[in-house]
Structure 1
Amino acid sequence: MSVIRIVVLFGATLTTGLGAGLFYSYACSVMPGLAQADDRSFIEVMQRINVAILNGWFMLSFLGALMLIGIAGVLELKGGNRTALLWIGAAAVFQLAVLVITGVVNVPLNNRLAAAGSPDGIADLAAVRAAFETTWVRWNLVRALTSTAAFACMAWALRLSARTPAAG
Structure 2
Amino acid sequence: MTNFTNITLGFTAISTALIAGLFYAYSCSVNPGLGKLPDKEYIAAMQSINLAIINPVFILSFMGTLILLPLCTYLHYARPFPARFVLLGIASLIYITGTFGITILGNVPLNDTLASYDIKAASINEIADQRIKFEVPWNRLHTIRTVAAVTALSLVIIACLYDHKNS
Tell me the TM-score normalised to structure 1 length.
Answer: 0.91
The equivalent of 2:21 in structure 1 is: 21
**Does the Cα contact within 8 Å between 1:12 and 1:66 map onto a contact in 2?**
no
Q: What do residues 119-167 of structure 1 show as CA deviations (whole Å, max 9, x unaligned)? A: 222231101101000110111011110000000111111122xx435xx
Aligned to 1:150: 152
Q: Which residue of 1 aligns with 2:37?
A: 37
Q: Counterpart in 1 of 2:93? A: 93
Letter in 2 for 1:104: L
1:7-41 C-alpha deviation (Å, 9 max, x unpaired): 10111111111111111111111111111000111
Equivalent residue, structure 1, for 2:135: 133
Higher relative contact order (CA closer than 8 Å, sequence separation 6+): 1
TM-score by length of 2: 0.91
Counterparts of 1:74 and 1:131, CA distance in 2: 41
Q: Tell me which residue corresponds to 1:2.
A: 2
Partners of 1:8 and 1:105 in 2: CA distance: 29
Structure 2 unmatched runs, 5+: none
Q: Is the CA contact (8 Å cut-off) linking 2:12 and 2:68 kept in structure 1?
A: yes
Counterpart of 2:117, as a letter, is A
Q: Counterpart of 1:47 in structure 2: which amino acid?
A: Q
**C-alpha displacement of 1:78:** 5.6
Partner of 2:106: 105
Segments of 5+ residues of structure 1 without an aligned counterpart are none
Question: How many pairs does the alignment contain?
Answer: 162
Q: How many Å separate the matches in 2 of 1:88 and 1:70?
A: 8
- Contact 2:83-2:164 at 8 Å conserved across structures: no
Ranges of 4+ aligned residues in structure 1 off by more than 6 Å:
none
